[in-house]
Structures are given as C-alpha cells and as structure tokens.
C-alpha cells in the first residue's frame, strides 16, 4: 500500500492515539472478562502471580496499517496486587516519513481493574467502561481550546484590576500562558 504521507498536527496524533487506546482497551477488556468470568471464585494464580497452566491462554495483540498509512500496534498484560487484578493496555501509532518531516510516533497506555482478588481468588467486580466508547476529534478539541484561551484573556484582563498584593488572599492567579 503506497500512500502519500501528510503532516498531522500534535492534536490529531494525540486524538488518534487515545481513540486507538480506547478501541483496543474495549476489545481486550471484553475478551479477557468473558474468558475469566467462569473462573470467579477459583484459585487461578500461581505463587508468582501468573496463571496456573490450565487457566492460562494466549493474549491477543494487534498490528495493522490504517487507510492513511498509519501503523498501529496494540497489546496488553496483567498486573496483580494484593486485592486486585488489572489489565494494562498499551498502543503505539506511528507513520509519516522522515524524508519529508512528517514522521510521528505516539504511545498511550492505561490500566483497568478487571477483578478484585481475595485470598488469590477472582471476585466479580462492578465495572463501567462505557466511557471507552468516547472518540475525540482534533478539530472539535481545537474549538474548545480556542474558547478556553479567549475566556482566559477575559479573566486575565479582570485579574489586572486586582492589586497584586491581594491576589493571594483571594487565591487568584494567571490561568494560561497565552
């Protein structure tokens, strides 16, 4: 697949990365939750925290190229702690070209609690990951940022009316650097 690299803004890259993280987090959480629900209440872990062989299975991972030539890789691993069992999802989006200075690479990762644990056994945990369906658009985010910057200018203009000796009494400070 030959595609002409186009320059992406930082906001477009960040939105793509977070959207991709959410997409794959949904996929991996669903897969592992469905796989592990039958083991609730069972002692499925070895002393080192890994799964006993009969409860283990290969993990999913994805590596693909999007229509615009951007490459995506996604994988996950589990983390254990005394009372919890988490899935940690990590993605990388990269693309563009070094030659025409359009190359980019962005990593995003996040942990999600799948189950609680008690005495090494999985316990059903209420979880709501519906917020992972949210998708971000760089153009919409830019409009929000512009509104915030305009509001900050109004705020800063009003702040200038307050003598600086009294600003800390009212916990007033400059909001932005723009």
Q: pLDDT tens digits for 112-126?
A: 999 999 888 899 888
CA dist 143 and 130 (Å) reads 25
pLDDT in the model for residue 48: 83
Digit-coded pLDDT (tens) for 135-158: 999 999 999 999 999 999 999 899
- pLDDT at 28 > cutoff 60: yes
**Alpha carbon distance 99, 143 (integer Å):** 31
CB 106 within 8 A of CB 12: no
Beta strands (DSSP E) in the chain are 62-65, 71-81, 84-95, 104-118, 121-123
Provide the pLDDT for residue 178: 56
pLDDT the model gives residue 87: 96
At 159, give phi and psi (nearest 5°).
Answer: -60, -35
**Strand-strand pairing, 104-118 and 84-95:** antiparallel
Per-residue model confidence (pLDDT) at position 176: 65
Average pLDDT over residues 68-81: 93
Domain chopping of the chain, boundaries: 10-135, 137-178
Phi, psi of 82, deg, nearest 5: -50, -50
Bridge partners (DSSP) of residue 108 are 91
Q: pLDDT tens digits, residue range 77-110?
A: 999 888 899 999 999 999 988 888 899 999 999 9
Give the closest residue to 70 by CA, choosing from 17, 117, 24.
17
When pLDDT is averaged across residues 57-64 and rounded to a whole number, the result is: 94
pLDDT of amino acid 11 = 95
């Amino acid at each position: 697949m030959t595609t002409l690299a186009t320059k992406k803004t930082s906001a477009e890259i960040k939105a793509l990365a977070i959207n991709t993280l959410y997409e794959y987090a949904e996929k991996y959480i669903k897969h592992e939750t469905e796989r592990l629900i039958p083991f609730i209440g069972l002692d499925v872990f070895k002393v080192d925290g890994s799964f006993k062989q009969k409860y283990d299975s290969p993990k999913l991972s994805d590596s693909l190229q999007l229509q615009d030539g951007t490459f995506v890789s996604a994988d996950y691993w589990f983390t254990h702690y005394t009372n919890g069992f988490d899935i940690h999802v990590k993605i990388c989006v990269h693309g563009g070209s070094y030659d025409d200075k359009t190359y980019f690479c962005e990593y995003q990762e996040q942990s999600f609690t799948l189950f609680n644990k008690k005495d090494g056994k999985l316990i059903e945990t209420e979880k709501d990951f519906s917020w992972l369906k949210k998708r971000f658009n760089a153009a919409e985010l830019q409009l929000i940022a512009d509104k915030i910057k305009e509001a900050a200018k109004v705020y800063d203009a009003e702040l200038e009316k307050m003598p600086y000796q009294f600003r800390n009494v009212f916990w007033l400070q400059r909001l932005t650097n723009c």
